């Protein structure tokens, strides 16, 4: 496979802290690569190095088959939104877009307005960016990242501060560009949203790459199932087979797991009761990307990740409140 981004033993330190510790990632051409990790795990540092905004202490980082610090004209094929968008606050949104398109050599004069319209801020395109709300600045940052139809887009928390309609809009833009051949590297704390689009994942914890997995492989690992505990495991197996279930497994202690037709718990309960088999437990479990992530980085991460999401939500609410006050 041809890799658009490939790192080998990438290490970055800030003082005594290792933000990245011997990280080797492989982003294939056409991937939507979901970078997953809690705050401070190293996601943004990796993106900054790939985006040319930071340098590593050791290891290598290659983009488009070339050293990240020696891309030449290929640097124009890289779209970025990392932390805060690079914008001119004293200029309008439209002026910012025109400057970016001019720098990229975009010949289509309609592209600035078209991208602003796609991001839902065309009505404010002549307004100075310093008067934009946080969400509007984020939308402008995404429009700037999409300018010039880059081959690779590196997006750090791209839907931060967006409402549900805005999130869907960004998702549709990403999927449309992906169909056209664009490769994406995306970090997000909203793992449910990331799981709708990602084709491959990299799980980072405490600066280390814990695992790389394709979406297909991950789906196989995140098995949804019915957990069933009865007083007669062999009788239970016979009953569920008569009901037409083929994908199941019997464990010690009277526990049975069923991996198909999860909506049929009622049929199972009725059939077992009819045979006089006592049911101690019957539950459905849907394992999500978040469940899997917490499973591989440690259970204590759940509380920290939740706290990070709450803090992020609080910051967003404060920004929205401040934006409303500015409008008045």
The verdict on 119 and 31 lying in the same domain is yes
Mean pLDDT for the chain overall? 87
Contact 31, 200 (CB under 8 A): yes
CATH of the domain at 146: 3.40.50.300
Q: What is the pLDDT of residues 159-174, one digit of tens each?
A: 887 888 889 989 999 9
The verdict on 141 and 162 lying in the same domain is yes
Q: Cα 36 from chain centroid?
A: 6
Domain span holding position 31:
3-214
The verdict on 201 and 265 lying in the same domain is no
Query: Residue holding tokens 């439209």?
Result: 94
Q: Which residues of 156-169 are buried (b: 16+ CB within 10 A; e: fewer)?
A: bbbbbbbeeebbeb
- Tell me the β-bridge partners of 9: none
Q: Where are the beta strands (DSSP E) in the chain?
A: 3-14, 17-23, 26-28, 32-36, 58-63, 66-67, 78-81, 152-156, 183-187, 200-205, 208-214, 225-230, 248-250, 255-258, 279-285
Average pLDDT over residues 119-139: 92
The verdict on 86 and 233 lying in the same domain is no
Average pLDDT over residues 238-252: 93
The tokens for 6 are 């490939």
pLDDT of residue 1: 59
The verdict on 127 and 238 lying in the same domain is no
From the list 43, 45, 141, 130, the residue with the least C-alpha distance to 86 is 141
The verdict on 261 and 191 lying in the same domain is no
* Rounded Cα–Cα distance for residues 98 and 126 (Å): 12
The verdict on 140 and 237 lying in the same domain is no
- Domain boundary, last residue among 164, 192, 214: 214
From the list 72, 75, 31, the residue with the least C-alpha distance to 50 is 75
For residue 28, pLDDT over 90 is answered with yes
* Rounded Cα–Cα distance for residues 295 and 301 (Å): 9
Domains: count for the chain: 2
The verdict on 164 and 280 lying in the same domain is no
The tokens for 103 are 């720098």
Q: What is the pLDDT of residues 78-90, one digit of tens each?
A: 999 998 888 999 9
For residue 49, pLDDT over 70 is answered with yes
The verdict on 41 and 124 lying in the same domain is yes
Q: Per the domain annotation, does 300 fall within a domain?
A: no
């Amino acid at each position: 496979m041809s890799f658009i981004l490939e790192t080998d033993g990438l290490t970055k330190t800030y003082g005594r802290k290792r933000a990245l510790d011997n990280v080797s990632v492989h982003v294939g051409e056409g991937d939507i690569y979901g970078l997953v990790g809690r705050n401070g795990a190293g996601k943004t540092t990796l993106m900054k190095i790939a985006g040319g905004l930071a340098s590593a202490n050791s290891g290598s980082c290659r983009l488009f088959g070339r050293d990240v610090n020696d891309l030449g004209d290929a640097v124009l094929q890289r779209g970025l939104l990392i932390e805060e968008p690079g914008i001119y606050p004293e200029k309008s949104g439209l002026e910012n877009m025109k400057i970016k398109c001019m720098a990229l050599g975009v010949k289509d004069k309609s592209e600035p307005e078209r991208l602003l319209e796609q991001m839902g801020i065309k009505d404010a395109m002549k307004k100075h960016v310093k008067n934009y709300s946080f969400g509007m600045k984020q939308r402008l940052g995404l429009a700037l990242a999409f300018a010039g139809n880059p081959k690779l887009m590196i997006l750090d928390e791209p839907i931060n501060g967006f409402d549900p309609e805005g999130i869907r809009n960004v998702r549709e833009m990403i999927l449309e560009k992906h169909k056209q051949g664009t490769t994406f590297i995306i970090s997000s704390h909203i793992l449910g949203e990331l799981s709708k689009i990602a084709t491959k994942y990299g799980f980072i914890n405490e600066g280390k790459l814990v695992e790389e997995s394709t979406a297909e492989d991950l789906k196989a690992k995140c098995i949804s199932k019915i957990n069933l505990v009865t007083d007669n495991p062999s009788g239970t197996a016979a009953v569920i087979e008569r009901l037409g279930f083929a994908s199941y497994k019997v464990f010690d202690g009277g526990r049975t797991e069923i991996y198909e037709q999860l909506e049929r718990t009622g049929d199972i309960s009725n059939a077992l009761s009819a045979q006089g088999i006592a049911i101690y437990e019957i539950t459905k479990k849907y394992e999500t990307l978040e469940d899997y992530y917490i499973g591989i980085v440690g259970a204590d991460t759940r509380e920290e990740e939740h706290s990070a999401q709450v803090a992020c939500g609080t910051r967003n609410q404060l920004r929205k409140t401040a934006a409303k006050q500015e409008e008045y």
